[in-house]
Amino acid sequence: MPSGDQLGLSAQESSRHEPFRPGIVPAGAPDPQRCASVTDPYEPPEPAGGPARCLTVLTTTDDEAKAQELARGAIAARVAACAQVSAPVTSVYRWAGAVETSREVQVLFKTTEARYDALEAHIRAAHDYDTPEIIATPVVCGSADYLDWIAKETR
């Protein structure tokens, strides 16, 4: 393997880049005890009684009042533990054969894999878009206390 000098790196830069060694956790890496197992997100869920798998679920709508309604409804129904309504974003997309640009408000929900179907049903029922954006992303690492809180609030 070439040295830092051979790659044109300063001594300081070279010391920050350590080669990968299986079983060795590099300095500055997240504590493995705080992270969910980083495995295939499509593998079957843990058996009953195992840790809940948490998700973030993103949707957008065209105004803040609708976003607040989606968020509050999901929390009231316990299909999400938390929902964050963002500042407006600009979305560029193709719709009905034309490139469109619109102002949208994002809502990011925190839920569990077990409650995803109910959250998706809530979003679809309350949403006024023909095809709402509903994208779920597995949480692979996070504060154990926070992830436990998500699980408790969505039971």
Give CA–CA dist 24/21, Å, rounded.
6
Lookup: tokens for 63: 């105004």
Q: Sorting pLDDT into bands at 50, 70 and 90, what band is 20?
A: very low
Alpha helix ranges (H) inside 17-138: 64-76, 116-126
Amino acid letter, 141: C
What pLDDT was estimated at residue 44?
46
How many Å apart are CA 87 and CA 76, to the nearest integer? 22
State the CB neighbour count (10 A cutoff) for residue 46.
Answer: 13
Nearest to 37, CA basis, from 123, 147, 150: 147
CB 58 within 8 A of CB 86: no
Residue that wins the pLDDT comparison between 125 and 2: 125
H or E segment at 12?
Answer: helix 11-16
The correct answer on CATH 3.30.200.190 for the domain covering 54-154 is no
Query: Residue ranges of the domains in the chain?
Result: 54-154
As a whole number, mean pLDDT of residues 106-112 equals 98
CA 64 to chain centre: 21
Q: How far apart are CA 46 and CA 64, in angstroms?
A: 37
Cβ atoms within 10 Å, residue 44: 6
DSSP-assigned letter for residue 136: E
Dump pLDDT digits (tens) for 45-83: 454 455 679 999 999 999 999 999 999 999 999 999 999
